[in-house]
Amino acid sequence: MIEIDPQHLAHRYMAQWTVPGAAERRAAIEQLWSEDATHILQPPAEIREIAAELGFGHTTLEAQGYDAIETRVARSYERFVETGGFTFRARADAVRLHGVVKFSWETVSTETGDAVGGGLEILLLDDDGRIKADYMFPGA
């Protein structure tokens, strides 16, 4: 596996969620992710509660491949950055253990600069240092 600075990767990863242009966003995704990568999200508590009320014992949201990941990143950008007044940033706690990178991130109000949320990210890397699986835990 190639050498990867985990903090640099964390910053690049968080930056993709704030890219306004579709072409630049797609380029960032193709640089960061392997072609068949999977983004796996633990939904927010309110979604898990609704699912439990409907009889689902667990919920997992997944996007696989460039197109699905691009849709996921674009929708997040539209909701939180473009119209929501937020941005995202990695905390300075990224660590790497073999092919795994773990770091925390923050949702930041663009009006005040205050962190108003965040989560935990666990990235599994391929031999080229690109993301092959991304486990996102908002609120963690």
pLDDT tens for residues 92-131?
999 999 999 999 999 999 999 999 999 999 999 999 999 9
In a domain, 37, yes or no: yes
In a domain, 129, yes or no: yes
In a domain, 26, yes or no: yes
pLDDT, one tens digit per residue, over 32-42 is 999 999 999 88
In a domain, 125, yes or no: yes
Domain range for 38 is 6-138
Residue 48's pLDDT band (cuts 50, 70, 90): confident
C-beta separation of 63 from 71 below 8 A? yes
- Mean pLDDT of all residues belonging to the chain: 93
In a domain, 1, yes or no: no
In a domain, 73, yes or no: yes
Question: Looking at the chain, how many residues does it have?
Answer: 140
**Positions of E strands within the chain:** 33-41, 61-64, 86-90, 95-97, 100-109, 115-125, 131-138
In a domain, 122, yes or no: yes
In a domain, 109, yes or no: yes
How many folded domains does the chain comprise? 1
Give yes or no for residue 1 having a pLDDT over 80: no
Can you give the pTM of this predicted structure? 0.89
For residue 34, the domain's CATH number is: 3.10.450.50
